[in-house]
Amino acid sequence: MRKFSNKLLLVGILCFSTILLLVGCGNTNKSTNEVTPSKTADINTSGNTQGNIANKVANTSGNTPGNIANLGIAAQQGDWIYYTHIDGIKKGSLNKVRMNGTSTTKINDDLALYINVVGDWIYYSNSNDENYLYKVRTDGTGKTKIKNDTAGSINVVGDWIYYTKSSNDSLDILVTLYKVRTDGTTETKITSDYAFSINVVGDWIYYTNGSDNYSLYKIRTDGTGKTKIINDGHVKPNIVGDWIYYLKLSEMLATPQVSGNGFIYKIRTDSTENQKVE
């Protein structure tokens, strides 16, 4: 019961902090409404029978930490932005549009969260089906349920999907950290910690550990090297380069801020130089 009440307490804080930690907080020369590009790599499309990858570029990571921290309702690959149009509770659609605003296309009628795009596939949590883990081709074909797991904080890197698996469809109760291959095989538990707000960067996964006062932790993608980075409770970690940007949970609870006036902190990924962003 204690864990459950703690999760409910954080719901309002997490929703509010989404407004404060805007996509790509370390990139101040961009509009806050601009989608942060994912990491990409040039590819040879001569063998690509689907022909869906724009500009011969495919993501190596399906989305950015900043976007995923804000429910991942948009992702970019090449010349296309893939996004969720929300039209009421449990209503919406998965769409794509070119970067210049043309060629808007509905992919399907799923209310998709934590969108990741890698190559010809879109991976997401389907709010129309218990937030289970799904994939669909960028042209709308091949829709597949990967796992009957309630999935949150989805990070697709290469042929692995890293995600938090919940005991129900609320995305924030009794959550543990897993990985599974993009074909649905080799599911592996990485840690038994109550983990959420995960960021996968290189060989490391950064996450909020609800099992330890919402401290910030990192762990290798193979489950080794578990390390505490920040002892204090925090929300919405966002990795930019070798810096982690975050909000202090204690300050959010004690002095609720209006939009744009929250306190943002940063610390290096090696746990040094913890400081307030002025």
CATH of the domain at 213: 2.120.10.30
Tokens (6 digits) for 267: 């610390």
C-alpha–C-alpha distance, residues 136 and 82, integer Å: 12
In a domain, 110, yes or no: yes
Tokens (6 digits) for 196: 């959420």
Q: How many CA atoms lie within 13 A of 115 on its CB side?
A: 29
Pairing of strands 74-77, 92-98: unpaired
Closest by Cα among 171, 239, 243 to 210 = 171
Q: Mean of the pLDDT values across residues 218-237?
A: 90
pLDDT in tens, 54-87: 445 778 889 998 889 889 999 999 999 999 998 8
In a domain, 261, yes or no: no
Tokens (6 digits) for 81: 């932005």
Tokens (6 digits) for 121: 């596939």
pTM as predicted: 0.77
C-alpha–C-alpha distance, residues 209 and 104, integer Å: 39
Q: In terms of DSSP H, where are the helices of the chain?
A: 2-20, 65-69, 249-254
In a domain, 275, yes or no: no
In a domain, 9, yes or no: no
In a domain, 217, yes or no: yes
Angle at 94 between CA 93 and CA 98, to 5 degrees: 125
**What is the band of 119 on the pLDDT scale with cuts at 50, 70, 90?**
very high
Domain extent, residue 190, equals 39-231
Backbone angles phi, psi at 195, to 5 degrees: -115, 135
pLDDT in tens, 128-184: 999 999 999 999 999 999 999 899 999 999 999 999 998 654 454 567 899 999 999
Number of domains in the chain: 1
Closest by Cα among 251, 267, 265 to 16 = 251
